[in-house]
Structure 1
Amino acid sequence: MADNPPDYDLADRIALTEPAQVQAIGHALRTTILQLLHERAATVTELATALERPKSTVAHHVDVLARAGLVRVVRTRKVRAIEERFYGRTARLFFVAAERSPAGEAMPRDFNDFEVAARESAAAFDDGRLWGFIRHARISEAQASEFWDRMAELVEEFDRTPRSGETTYGFAIGLYPMTHPTLPPAE
């Protein structure tokens, strides 16, 4: 599949190893900024317009993302003697690499992607436009890891899909251990 979005070069994946990086992606507005930058590079003014937020608020959140190494200036242009900066993500996919940073600090765990997806999907559910599956299976850690790798490939495919249409779709995917009843061995 062609690498259509976004309109600048970026890494495929970056491991988040510092608490500040995880805290940066744990904020709803910063997550939305990262999602917008997945489509194309944008200025703070463009982001503020899209988010319907003050430019100063958006500039603050872009700065937090930049200090965390999650966004960077990907190009500039002169507009009436002022240099306008276009920001882009540093990677298509960010993932939390470990429970602790290299310095031994605990990584923040105060966000849940499924909680966000549940909030975002409520209107689609009410409109009868929510598609979803939930399945349970007893599998080994190795099998779970293999499934996760395949799901990550699907997420990357979704991320690389050319942007078109009028509707933005959310895509939530996960794999988690849980307590679930099991049948006794067959006789």
Structure 2
Amino acid sequence: MTVNAPVPDYELQDTIELTTSEQVRAISDPLRTTILGLLHERAATVTELAGAVKRPKSTVAHHVGVLAEAGLLRVVRTRRVRAIEERYYGRAARMFYIGLGRGAGDGKGPRDLNDFEVAAKESVAAYKDGQLRSLIRRARIPEERAAEFWKRVAQVVGEFDQLPRAGDTAYGFTVGLYPMPDYPVLPPGDDTVE
């Protein structure tokens, strides 16, 4: 792959809001999220995806179908191989986010859709090998500042998504911003200094 080639190798939207429980359920399956992750690099056929995840082609075809039905994948190109037309699938968007209060939160979706839980499971081996890089910070800030900061974080995530793919190791990148109502807060300080 050319180092400066755009990632992935097809056109897609930047973001899509998930507004139905079917869409949320579609991304809640670990194999389907792996398929979506692989398609960040380039479009791929069901055969290529099955080889990458070491699962039967029929299983991968089923999961690709679920993602396509939910509008998260689409055919981005085809090619004729002998008498068969091969379909290359790509993501519909770089990033999917759950739209709160518009159908996705109807109680029918998975209750445990938590990127931190997934990241914690994925990072165990890296932690044991001394390869885990992580930071945690806490700050008491107004909601407007939190929203402003999150927009900047989303830009970094977008930059990570578009990095040219190379090397033999895949890296996970997890970020989050969450309220902590029970975290202790100091009372206002005395501004006078003696």
Shorter-chain TM-score: which interval?
Answer: over 0.9
Equivalent positions of 1:18-37 (< 5 A) are: 18-37=20-39
Aligned-residue identity in percent: 63
Contact 1:13 1:94 in 2 (8 A): yes
Specify the structure having the higher radius of gyration (Cα).
Answer: 2
- SS of the residue corresponding to residue 64 of structure 2 reads helix
Contact 1:18 1:107 in 2 (8 A): no
TM-score normalised by the chain length of structure 1: 0.95
Q: Which runs of 5+ in 2 are unaligned?
A: none
Aligned to 1:75: 77
Equivalent positions of 1:6-155 (< 5 A) are: 6-101=8-103, 105-106=106-107, 108=109, 109-155=111-157
- SS of the residue corresponding to residue 56 of structure 1 reads helix
Contact 1:3 1:160 in 2 (8 A): no
- By how many angstroms is 1:107 displaced? 6.2
TM-score normalised by the chain length of structure 2: 0.91
State how far apart, in whole Å, the 2-side matches of 1:124 and 1:149 are: 28
State how far apart, in whole Å, the 2-side matches of 1:60 and 1:138 are: 46
State how far apart, in whole Å, the 2-side matches of 1:97 and 1:149 are: 16
- By how many angstroms is 1:101 displaced? 1.4
Count of matched residue pairs: 185
- State the superposition RMSD in angstroms: 1.5
- Which 4+ runs in 1 deviate beyond 4 A? none
> What is the aligned counterpart of 1:182 among 179, 182, 185?
185
Q: What's the CA shift string for 1:86-139, capped at 9, x where partnerless? A: 00000001111113318x834623211000000011111111111111000111
Contact 1:101 1:107 in 2 (8 A): no
2:84 is matched by which residue type in structure 1? I
- SS of the residue corresponding to residue 177 of structure 1 reads coil
State how far apart, in whole Å, the 2-side matches of 1:24 and 1:110 are: 13
